[in-house]
Amino acid sequence: MSDVYAEPATAGDPTDPATLARYTTLRLGGPAGRLETAENADQIVLKVQEAEDREQAVLVLAGGSNVVIGDQGFAGTVVLVRSRGFQAVAEDVDTVTVRVEAGEPWDDFVAATVERGWSGLECLSGIPGSAGATPIQNVGAYGQEVSETIVAVEAYDRTERRVVRIPAADCGFVYRGSIFKYSDRWVVLTVDFRLTRSPLSGPVRYAELARALGVEVGDRVPLADARATVRKLRAGKGMVLDAADPDTWSVGSFFTNPVLPGDVFEQVRERAADLGQPPNWPGADGTVKVSAAWLIDKAGFAKGYAGPEGVAISSKHTLALTNRSGTASAAALVALAREIRDGVESRFGVTLHPEPVLINCTI
């Protein structure tokens, strides 16, 4: 399912266009004080400026796939980003630089790059949301991150009230983060990606993907094969949006994989001695990234674990928290997230942190 802007049924009045649950993949969120739609970059800037001139708080919302909005909603102005399209802005023999509008559905864009023989985003197939959201959390999956191909981000600077172009080196990209995340200063308008002209994927880095493709880690495969296999793997985990599958009514991975100092990781290993080796990946400066899904499962929260009001861990993937009933409250989902976080901390001494942005709610 690539149309991430389809309006699902929600708790409350599903015909009320101001109910923000209509615009999030979790199908959660109360009313907006004011709802505006922006269909291009100029309109995005204008709608934000007009709200600021009214001295209203502003929430910019595109695909709604990485946000949890509280039951009280958002009392200010919500700007729905619906800009579309992409174009090549620079080319040479080996590469093409593509500028994509913030509201372009991400998976549609990835599909288009694969069809054109542009390599670099194929392993990010099937991820819901908009292109403009990808630099905010440095979206990554199956061995690729958008920071590897982003050249620059065009954004509206709400502090200086002007449009700026920020080179990738100044975006502060880190694991699932950037200068844009948890900051309302920047409103992403367009993103430039430099992609390689090649019918083959980048080297396959992720062991699970390599096994599914029947190749070795480091091998390259046809772009279409990489995309199809990634989408199949994601669908098997409930990570491709499907209106008929409540396991996909989520924000994908709710918690990030914790990156621990080496000594803290050794303490986790000691606490987990009776459970086997936690899946882990060495990082910079002696740090170790640990599987949050493994920690959650071993702390007693298995796939399908149910919380109040029909919220539950996905039956397909331990990291996804779902609004399976379609009628739950954000408070119920937050309560389940808090229970899981506290349980993991009690069992392993590790505090998990949410990946989505939380609006008027907290765990």
| Biggest CA pair distance of the chain | 59
Determine the pLDDT at residue 1.
25
CA distance 60 to 158: 12
Determine the pLDDT at residue 10.
40
Contact 98, 89 (CB under 8 A): yes
DSSP labels for 251-282? -SBSBPPPEE-HHHHHHHHHHTTTT-PPPEEE
Q: Which long-range contacts (CB under 8 A, 24 or more apart) does 308-317 make?
A: 308/332, 308/335, 308/336, 311/335, 311/336, 312/336, 313/340, 314/237, 314/238, 314/247, 314/250, 315/238, 315/247, 316/236, 316/237, 316/238, 316/247, 317/237, 317/238, 317/239, 317/247, 317/253, 317/293
Tens digits of per-residue pLDDT, 271-314?
999 999 999 999 889 999 999 999 999 999 999 999 999 999 99
Contact 60, 101 (CB under 8 A): no
> What mean pLDDT, rounded, does the chain reach?
93
For 322, the token pair is 């779902």
Contact 54, 43 (CB under 8 A): no
Which residue in 201, 253, 314, 329 is the catalytic one? 253
pLDDT band for position 17 (50/70/90)? low
CA distance 169 to 150: 9
Quick check: is 101 catalytic? Answer: no
CA distance 219 to 202: 8
**pLDDT(238) > 60:** yes
Rounded average pLDDT over 55-66: 95
Neighbours of 270 (CB within 10 A): 10
Contact 60, 187 (CB under 8 A): yes
Determine the pLDDT at residue 29.
96
Quick check: is 216 catalytic? Answer: no
Rounded average pLDDT over 149-169: 98
**pLDDT(11) > 80:** no
Neighbours of 259 (CB within 10 A): 17
pLDDT band for position 129 (50/70/90)? very high
CA distance 28 to 64: 10
Determine the pLDDT at residue 284.
86
Q: Which residues contact 118 (CB under 8 A, 6 or more apart)?
A: 96, 98, 195, 196, 197, 198
Q: Measuring CA to CA, which residue among 130, 119, 180, 181 is closest to residue 155?
A: 180
Please write down the HEC assignment for all residues of 33-56. Answer: EEEEEECCHHHHHHHHHHHHHCCC
**pLDDT(67) > 70:** yes
Rounded average pLDDT over 112-141: 97
**pLDDT(2) > 90:** no
Q: Pairing between strand 67-69 and 162-167?
A: unpaired
Tens digits of per-residue pLDDT, 164-218?
999 999 999 998 999 999 899 999 999 999 999 999 999 999 999 999 999 999 9
Quick check: is 27 catalytic? Answer: no
For 180, the token pair is 């844009």
**pLDDT(18) > 80:** no
Q: Measuring CA to CA, which residue among 260, 265, 247, 258 is closest to residue 322?
A: 247
Which residue in 176, 227, 324, 347 is the catalytic one? 176
**pLDDT(141) > 60:** yes
**pLDDT(97) > 60:** yes
Determine the pLDDT at residue 333.
98
DSSP secondary-structure letter at 75? E
CA distance 276 to 272: 6
